[in-house]
Structure 1
Amino acid sequence: MFTGWLKAFPSGRALSREERAAGLSSVSYDKVGLDEQLSLTRLNYNFSEFVDRAFRVRGSAATLLGFFSFLIVMGTILALWSLTYDLASGGKHDVVELLTTVCIGSVFLVFFLIAIWYVSLRKELFAYRYYPVRFNRTSGMVSIFRHNGRNGVLSIPFDQVFWFVGRGDRMEFLCDLRGAVLDGEKIVHMFSVGHYFEAAGEQRVRSLWSFICTYMEGGADLLAARGVKANIDLSVEPTWRNCWRWVMLTMGAPFAQLRYVLAPIYYPVLTIMAAWRWLALNSCRKPKWPLDLFSGRSSAIEPGAWREPALIGEFEVDPGARLQTPGGKR
């Protein structure tokens, strides 16, 4: 689930036999069943842009537990020093012994605090809202956003990336579209495009791959010719309504259908998880592409741009009929 995010993709090694066998071709791909799988954020005549697999799990229960643990440890440290001050002020305890004890205890707690931050929170809070991948059909390049700083964007020709169906490290039934940048046989950088999927995972990855290949081959016109509607369903704006809807979608249709029966459980859980996702995303910066990467041209207004929704599923007549959790069928 957290592959490629809290746990980085592998690098510095050769592709495994399984990864080689799962390779995808940009020449012989399915011409039917194209679907951006709720991963597309922008599309116009020049480029299309997608989130990576980490976007789906932002504000997860695992990092929420880490956040609560962080607060508990912080509170324990403050309470420990407050108690020490009260005892020292009373004059009945040796100040040196008290300070020695509290300092030793604080060191252990601070190490625990650092461990919690490093393992579960450093990429959740005060990072980036999402990490876009841009396919530029004009230049034939793929650009992977990593950070806003120097060398924060990696650009490479589309046909020089080894594309394959990736799988989770521990949960191998989770599939995603993955690209590997190679130097000879060695992996220099690995990244994902779009969400990860459980149900019909490989099929959904291939439909996303077909969407991308069709776009790179003939742009929006070819997508339209193959029956794809000019709609973007995913909004990456960190509003409360988007966070609420995203959590509701990822909880799945079965829970939504039973929401009135399970109301005492369903709505409190939904509210807590939506609030955590909202807090996490709003603590983060919006990714910004360097202007010099695209010849100094602003990409705010592009010809042939598809409408971008402010709300997830804004342009759907019946969002529930098409917008299912990324793990379910669409």
Structure 2
Amino acid sequence: MMNYTGLYTPYKLNRSLTEKERNGQFSQGKWRRVKFIMDEYSVVRMNSTYMETVCKYYLGVGISSSLIASLILGILIVFTYEGLYISVISDEYVSWGGVCFSAVIGIVFIMLLSILLRKEWFRKTHYPIRFNRRNQMVYVYQVNGQILTVPWSKVFFTSAMSRGAMSEWGIDGHILSDDGETVINTFSLAVSVMGSKKLLGEYWEFIRCYMEEDCVEDLADIVTLCPPVENRKEGYIFGLQYLLKMDSRLEWIFLPIMLPLELLASMGRYIAMQTSKIPQWPQEVLDACLVDPDDPINVSAANNPEHLWRYVLANEKREEYESRYIRQSAANERIKAKLAERYGK
């Protein structure tokens, strides 16, 4: 399951903040003491001016559309078989009224499924978010195609749980009206987790530190895997790798079960990417995000691990793993030291 609120189901707007949202707020300007700071493989580009991330839907692209497409294909196969059986094989009496009724139900069902299918196919490859550190603005490419531009300090960030049997936690950013109470727009950060909400704080600190703290170089050392979707479409191989991403070799136990499902999802994902358009920022956003030619920070998919299959399957050579672990751990410690010096232990 994935948190598809905002894509398949709309955000609840023109309402007051709930008590749960107030209690779950992620506050700007406040250090949230976490053990690790994590980027969750969401960074598309990072430099000293802005950081662009994917949306929370990007991780699960292909999962729902592959299942929906399979249902549509199954219905078509059943109807094709029934048509051949009635017209060629069967000598029994056929109730054409019943056949027509079944056909109408099937067509309506396919039309409804096709509407859901178009939530991923023939849309945008992803819906990026840009955090401009220099002018302290956030730019959100919304599902409806409009660009939301809002000051970082004016967004009310809070934990949010998706609806459904297998709920997931994420971080929503609410835009409030002048009364400071009414939610008039909402977007989500690129994190969606099941179970413990601890990971939300780790990802929030990554975003907050980029916008507020003097540790961009250290944050750059934490980033390992960047989706290659900047001004281009994701290829099939990377899509499969992104779906298969493992954190430990222990996950190999589930590979015989997960691989067929991920292969199916990867086909839906590839179709989604190929039928969708690449999101384009308007010129005013590009002008606001101009990067210094000599900027020492330049993180993108060009910096991805050389042996990507080994990385996503948690099967890197020991020296590669240890080198990255030491780099990321040292960066985390430097960030925590800076935060402790600024906010006090």
TM-score, scaled to structure 1: 0.76
> Quick check: 1:59 aligned with 2:62?
yes
Q: Say which SS state the counterpart of residue 274 (structure 1) adopts.
A: helix
Partner of 2:342: none
Q: Is the CA contact (8 Å cut-off) linking 2:53 and 2:190 kept in structure 1?
A: yes
Deviation sequence 1:79-122 (CA, Å, 0-9, x none): 788899x79xxxxx9xxx97x8876554433321221123x312
Instruction: Please tell me whether residue 39 in structure 1 is matched to residue 42 in structure 2.
Output: yes
Which shifted more, 182-191 or 164-173? 164-173
1:197 corresponding residue in structure 2: 193
Contact 1:51 1:195 in 2 (8 A): no
Matched residue of 2:26: which SS? Answer: coil
1:302 and 1:163 map into 2 onto residues whose CA distance is 33
Instruction: Give unmatched runs, 5+ long, in structure 1.
Output: 88-92, 324-330
CA–CA distance in structure 2, aligned partners of residues 182 and 47 of structure 1: 24
Deviations 1:231-264 (A, max 9, x none): 45121442122122122126975442464xx4xx
The answer for unaligned runs of 5 or more in structure 2 is 315-320, 326-345
Change beyond 3 A, Cα 1:162–1:73? same
CA contact (8 A) 2:157 2:171 kept: yes
Matches of 2:291 and 2:143, distance apart in 1: 18
Is the Cα contact below 8 Å between 1:41 and 1:232 reproduced in 2?
A: no
Whether 1:11 and 2:3 are equivalent positions in the alignment is no
Give per-residue Cα distances to partners, 1:124-160, cap 9 Å, x unaligned. Answer: 21111111111112221111102585xx111111111
| Bigger mean CA offset, 163-172 vs 250-259 | 250-259
In structure 2, C-alpha distance between the alignment counterparts of 1:245 and 1:11, rounded to whole Å: 36
**1:169-202 CA distance string (max 9 Å, x none):** 2368622222011113221111111121235x42
Mapped contact 2:37–2:206 kept (Cα < 8 A): yes
Distance 2:212 2:77 in 1: 56
Determine what percentage of the aligned residue pairs are the same residue.
20
Is residue 55–residue 127 contact of structure 2 (8 Å, CA) maintained in 1?
yes
Check whether the contact 2:128–2:141 (CA below 8 A) recurs between aligned residues.
yes
| TM-fit CA distance, 1:44 | 1.1
Aligned partner of 2:215 among 213, 222, 239: 222
Report the number of matched residues.
303
CA distance in 2, matches of 1:105, 1:63: 24
How far did residue 298 of structure 1 move?
7.0
**TM-score normalised by structure 2 residue count:** 0.73
Distance 1:147 1:16, change over 3 A: closer
Identify the residue that residue 90 of structure 1 maps to in structure 2: none
1:114 to 107, 111, 116: 111
CA contact (8 A) 1:168 1:174 kept: yes
1:295: which partner in 2? 287
Separation of aligned partners in 1, 2:284 and 2:264? 41
Matched, 1:234 2:226: yes
* Residue aligned with 1:48, SS: strand
Query: CA RMSD of the aligned region, Å?
Result: 3.7
Aligned to 1:174: 168
Letter in 2 for 1:188: I
Match of 1:161 in 2: 155
Distance 2:14 2:166 in 1: 22
Q: Which amino acid aligns with 1:191?
A: F
